[in-house]
Amino acid sequence: GENVEQHPSTLSVQEGDSAVIKCTYSDSASNYFPWYKQELGKGPQLIIDIRSNVGEKKDQRIAVTLNKTAKHFSLHITETQPEDSAVYFCAGQVDPRDDKIIFGKGTRLHILP
Amino acid sequence: GAGVSQSPSNKVTEKGKDVELRCDPISGHTALYWYRQSLGQGLEFLIYFQGNSAPDKSGLPSDRFSAERTGGSVSTLTIQRTQQEDSAVYLCASSPSRNGYTFGSGTRLTVV
């Protein structure tokens, strides 16, 4: 089955700098890759997603890139702010016929003042 | 409701007792999922309901775990004879179809 690996597990960046989180997946048939942000005491919240027919998607300070050949995708956060501190999860869709997705183990992002 | 609602938000139970966790999905969402999140860990898939299809139970860790979804809406996750290793946050999510999930805030289960 699908396996999603996520790195790093912890990331600290200075406020205003950029943060990059990287993920790889194993199933070449996967075609949907969402990213979730989880703040303390809350459930994960979808922040951006990308489908395999595009290589990049951007939403304000957040962007995601996808390399299907290498089977990896990345989250980029620019001009980081204190409220970006959270745990971020990448995920991949296992079966294009349904919505079940498999999550990476998460990256704890700390924005340093 | 406006979002996915889970209850209780916190549950402390004694080892060996049964517990029931409830999830109210967003109205009209056909798909419902349960995940488990252990302290500092990722999201472990448990079970998936899609419309009237048979649920995908491939993630349930043992036969002590079961779930049902009544009337295509509310779902209950039941853990029988709880063990300390069952302590975790249990997250429910729903989805209209082929879109990202909306998660609830979870139920934090502590087995003492």
Digit-coded pLDDT (tens) for B32-42: 999 999 877 78
Whether residues A102 and B102 touch (CB distance < 8 A) is answered with no
pLDDT at B68: 95
Q: What is the pLDDT of residue A98?
A: 66
Q: Report d(CA A35, CA A47) in Å as an integer.
A: 6
Which chain B residues touch A36 with a CB distance below 8 Å?
100, 103
On whether any CB of chain B is under 8 Å from the CB of A103, the answer is yes
Burial B49-77 (b: 16+ CB within 10 A, else e): bbeeeebbeebbeeeebebebeeeeebeb
| SS3 category, B35 | strand
DSSP-derived pairing of the beta strands B10-13 and B65-69? unpaired
3-state secondary structure chain A: CCCEEEECCEEEEECCCCEEEEEEECCCCCCEEEEEEECCCCCCEEEEEEECCCCEEEECCEEEEEECCCCEEEEEECCCCHHHCEEEEEEEECCCCCCCEEECCCEEEEEEC
- Rounded Cα distance, B37 and B44, in Å: 6
A46 interface with B at CB cutoff 8 Å: yes
Q: What is the Cα–Cα distance from A44 to A70, expressed in whole angstroms?
A: 27
Region B71-85: what's the mean pLDDT? 94
> Would you call B50 and A43 a contact, using CB atoms and an 8 Å cutoff?
no
**In angstroms, how far is the first alpha carbon of chain A from the final one?**
41
Asked whether the beta carbons of residue B105 and residue A44 sit closer than 8 angstroms, the reply is: no
Going by C-alpha positions, the residue among A36, A40, A92, A43 that lies closest to residue A62 is A36
Mean pLDDT of B18-40: 93
Q: Which residues of chain A have pLDDT under 50?
A: none
The per-residue pLDDT for B107 is: 97
Residue B70 has pLDDT above 60, yes or no: yes
Backbone angles phi, psi at B85, to 5 degrees: -70, -10
Residue A41 and residue B19: Cα distance in Å, rounded? Answer: 21
